[in-house]
Chain A
């Protein structure tokens, strides 16, 4: 009771003192000044709010963290060295979604409430959870890594880069034009991770293999934790394929390639990889000898490539997040922030700040119509040029084909087209792609 009485006395005293001090506090307020003529606000006082959800933590933090660093560093660079967008600073209104879809749903609503002009996101999983909200509100979103369901049928969600299905299409095109010299149809086997990363390639092959003149002889699946694919590779070997395409992450891809090597299949056939696995980690895990000559596609340039945007990105990365240097995901999201700034510039010039300042459905529509859909930008060479094409919400539509040469991932082409896959032509297989 003594404690309770003491707390009561302290509480009453605190309230009494607060009331007693009010006149003194109000006396300290600045004296009213004579009204002055209104002046036009400066651009630096008129920020542009860009919404971002990033999986900085959670199960996908290994990708989300460098991606978050890349885009936030780039916004810092744009504001500090380029003076923002036409003098208007960009406010990065960002939240960590923790790779949690339920949280993502609430965060997209928060970004809409905050008056963000559009939003960006790293991954296909949480973007899929945002599709309905964004599409019904007309609140445009851009996903760095996406799945076909995000952009088909095309509405208000855009993809920064080609998806895993597009990887297959680009590689298949390249293979038919530059590698295949035999008679008739080449035989291709697919070794796929059992999620959207793998199934994107399978769906693309379902749509396009016939028209490209490729015969799919086998589709095998594996898990992210696989330690041996000998069974599957033995089945594939018996079918004598000309080419093996792997769409997976680095560790399982290394297992598949090592198994092919041990079975004497490789060298002897062509191996192509989708972009989720085709990084330096693959060569490190499988070894330079085993991976020598393996092809792969990737949608950005390499660190150290001679492109206009490389120097500044490298400088900021080494200054602010040195441990991310060498990580391609940092490049991806740095490039995404450059695209975001370009979208804001176009929207600003075509719609005016007053419209954007509303931060509501009018502003969202203006950004989409006069920003995103007017894009024609080279992204300082960091990845393929971005341009909106009606009916195709992928902004960048190209990848580069690489090959492991002397243990180093080396580009063998410039930007090659990753054509849009007409999923809607197969409504029985891909009902989600059909506009309702």
Chain B
């Protein structure tokens, strides 16, 4: 971490601390104040977008641990989110279990399913593992669709989360629930990357043969990465289920899985900040194109047939992502690091 002039690390604890200076603390507190006062000035719509971003961040953090840190490419992430969503739905709706119990069970169930589909990772990697995880997506969907308890193709209604008798019914209350869990997951992921486990993940990613020679148990760490990544996907699925109030398998398509890959690549693979920035970028881009740009273009040309501009949305969405990957292939997190480095020196050029 780059530190301002005159600040030095004298102990290992100081070296490892995430927050080092008063400015860091001020910025962090400012961010939390800004974040937790959002319901005061955001409309229900923007709060719902924020909630969606929060849920997506949790799932993307899981995928980033699996793919970004450990190098295990997974194109079935939406399937693992579905496991969490349907587990929560069944536990809260059918078995009437409390939300917090369902939340943890959703994570565990998705984690265990992830373990099963992670087993081939010892033998196959790269594109071959990607195909195995795609198979996971289809198998999970088939099973859910053919289980009576999940409602099959019709889906299942899910009650809103409640803790100690308080029901998170409003968008604002949902916001506090989702953002709190998202912050906890971010904190967990940030710290995981700095532990022995995190470093073993990176070693496996960079060169699994060298890692094994150094004593890293490949099978254990690969499976652990699958468990943690899918556990977080399950948590995200559980939150998604209670937020939307209804789940069907159609919500968890292969397209969603690919979008999650896109998010962590755009944000910056293998960084703590990357998934957050990638998710915010993609989700905001979707909303801005849909609710602001498209109506503006339609309104600008009232003489043209209604709906003429609808094709602009996917073209721009795809185009912006392609351009972004060309101009900043290392992700938004890298651009943010460059900005911070430049800002630290400004106005001096050296």
A195 B153 Cβ-Cβ under 8 A = yes
B44 A112 Cβ-Cβ under 8 A = yes
Least CB distance, A434 to chain B, in whole angstroms:
11
What B residues does A110 contact at CB under 8 A?
A: 45, 48, 291
What B residues does A72 contact at CB under 8 A?
A: 305-307
Least CB distance, B252 to chain A, in whole angstroms:
9
- Chain B 20-67 residues near chain A, CB threshold 8 A: 43-45, 47-49, 52
CA distance A93 to B156 in the complex (A): 29
A interface secondary structure, majority: helix
B306 A132 Cβ-Cβ under 8 A = no
A106 B287 Cβ-Cβ under 8 A = yes
A-binding segment of B201-209, B221-229, B308-316:
B308-316
CA distance A294 to B349 in the complex (A): 80
B155 in the interface (beta carbon within 8 A): yes
A102 B52 Cβ-Cβ under 8 A = yes
What B residues does A129 contact at CB under 8 A?
A: 244, 246, 248, 251
Count A-B contacts at CB 8 Å: 120
Known: A1-B349, A72-B306, A109-B171. A132 touches B157 (CB 8 A): yes
Least CB distance, B260 to chain A, in whole angstroms:
12
The interface bits of chain A over 334-360 (1 if a CB of B lies within 8 angstroms of the residue's CB, else 0) are 000000000000000000000000000
CA distance A133 to B250 in the complex (A): 18
What A residues does B305 contact at CB under 8 A?
A: 69, 72-73, 320-321
With most chain B CB atoms within 10 A of its CB, the pick from A1, A102, A133 is: A102
Closest to B249 in A: A195
B43 A113 Cβ-Cβ under 8 A = yes
Least CB distance, B81 to chain A, in whole angstroms:
11
Known: A69-B307, A72-B306, A149-B154. A125 touches B291 (CB 8 A): no
The interface bits of chain A over 131-167 (1 if a CB of B lies within 8 angstroms of the residue's CB, else 0) are 1110010000000000111000000000000000000
Number of interface residues of A (CB under 8 A): 47
Closest to B50 in A: A106
The interface bits of chain A over 109-123 (1 if a CB of B lies within 8 angstroms of the residue's CB, else 0) are 110110000000000
A107 in the interface (beta carbon within 8 A): yes
The interface bits of chain A over 81-104 (1 if a CB of B lies within 8 angstroms of the residue's CB, else 0) are 000000000001001111011110
Least CB distance, B97 to chain A, in whole angstroms:
17
Known: A149-B155, A199-B154. A105 touches B243 (CB 8 A): yes
Least CB distance, B350 to chain A, in whole angstroms:
10
A241 in the interface (beta carbon within 8 A): no
Closest to A316 in B: B305
Known: A98-B313, A133-B245. A76 touches B306 (CB 8 A): yes
CA distance A35 to B336 in the complex (A): 55
B131 in the interface (beta carbon within 8 A): no
- Chain B 98-122 residues near chain A, CB threshold 8 A: none
B290 A107 Cβ-Cβ under 8 A = yes
The interface bits of chain A over 55-79 (1 if a CB of B lies within 8 angstroms of the residue's CB, else 0) are 0111100000100110011011000
What B residues does A132 contact at CB under 8 A?
A: 157-158, 244-246
19 further A-B pairs in the complex, CB-CB below 8 A; given A69-B305, A109-B171, A128-B246 = A57-B311, A75-B306, A96-B310, A98-B286, A98-B314, A103-B286, A105-B244, A106-B48, A106-B52, A107-B290, A113-B45, A125-B250, A131-B157, A132-B245, A136-B245, A149-B154, A199-B152, A320-B306, A321-B307
16 of the cross-chain contacts (CB-CB < 8 Å) are A58-B314, A59-B253, A73-B306, A75-B306, A102-B244, A105-B48, A105-B243, A106-B48, A106-B52, A109-B45, A128-B155, A149-B154, A194-B145, A199-B153, A199-B154, A321-B305
The residues of A with any CB-CB pair to B shorter than 8 Å are: 1, 4, 54, 56-59, 65, 68-69, 72-73, 75-76, 92, 95-98, 100-103, 105-107, 109-110, 112-113, 125, 128-129, 131-133, 136, 147-149, 194-196, 199, 320-321, 432
